[in-house]
Amino acid sequence: MLLSNCYNYHDFRKLAQKRLPGPIFNYIDGGADDEVTMRRNSEAFQSCDLIPNVLTGVKDIDLSVEVMGQKLALPVYLSPTALQRLFHHQGERATAGAAEKFGTMFGVSSLGTVSMEEIAKKYDTPQVYQFYFHKDRGLNRAMMERAKESNIEVMMLTVDSITGGNRERDLRTGFAIPFRLNLKGLWQFATRPMWGINYITHEKFSLPQLDAHIDMGGGASSIGDYFTNMLDPSMNWKDVEEMVKFWDGQFCLKGIMSVEDAKRAVDIGCTGIVISNHGGRQLDGSRSSFDHLAETVDAVGDKIDVIFDSGAQRGTHVLKALALGAKAVGLGRYYLFALAAAGQKGVERAMQLMVAEIERDMRLMGCSKISDLNRDHIRFR
């Protein structure tokens, strides 16, 4: 299967599955427990239909939006995700390069494999730093100061991951960082030799946001241990309010799934929230992001930027979220499978296809700019 034969999310997923060792593919592909929420995230779009208007004289399409103080050429951005150089040796460099080419926002994770400083210096694109709250308050302050010094535009605090979700696919393969594979997992690596060649012939795997503070490579800690032992489950609204004041800029909470929490985010001075259930990777059985979007927008959409995340695979999915009032849509697995399939070329092809879908669907909807989309364009079954 060639990259040129990939035309949608499912094609990129298939190509990634052919190229990645099973444990790494399943790390991207899997969710928590029975993966009910992960499946519902995408299925939820099927309960909503688009209502197009015809004869509106659509000629030029303007896909630009402004979100979290950033002017983007597209209503989609590349969400911060962990461990990208495991998926392809280019890692975050490929993702940032594609985001720069398409004029949209890109996020670096606390568990990123390229430093925030390098990305901020090399790529001219708005950058989000996705932050986890640690028990060590000094570490929290140091990481925020690094982000400030790197001129990162948006701080995005993940609030739904104070402990790791129960990802049973990873338990079955023995996936961990550092690798602790069982025999089945080792066989999967042996059958994907090109991945192993790329892994050992490029720079040593590292987590530069954390390496100065936590030993993640010497066997002292795994990713699971990191979530369980390093992150602070006692994090509360007062802690976050202090962070918002210290950052003194665009500050977003990722993982908001209740109207009450959305209102609290407004009260403490956040400028954005991401409606997200972490792609179904944390609390299985929680509501899908799309099902929850409208009531959140109705409650706080006039006071704070409401961003949508989790499950978008098509241009029509993006339009439905925007019509409900989301300011932008974050893409996760959609671009990660493309990254795993072919590095930056893969991400660029995925973005090219997504942009083409959105532009075509906007024309079919009779809308020439994103702000034309509204609740009149959708009906729930």
Catalytic center residues: 278
Q: Is 275 exposed, middle or buried (0-12, 13-18, 19+ CB in 10 A)?
A: buried
Q: Are 50 and 316 in contact (CB under 8 A)?
A: yes
Q: Are 307 and 327 in contact (CB under 8 A)?
A: yes
**Could you tell me where the DSSP H helices lie in 36-177?**
36-43, 84-87, 92-102, 116-122, 137-149, 168-173
Residue 331's DSSP bridge partners are 78
**Residue 178 preceded by cis peptide, ω within 30:** yes
**What distance in Å separates the CA atoms of residue 32 and residue 261, rounded to the nearest whole number?**
23
Best CA proximity match to 180, nearest among 206, 207, 219: 219
**What distance in Å separates the CA atoms of residue 159 and residue 352, rounded to the nearest whole number?**
31
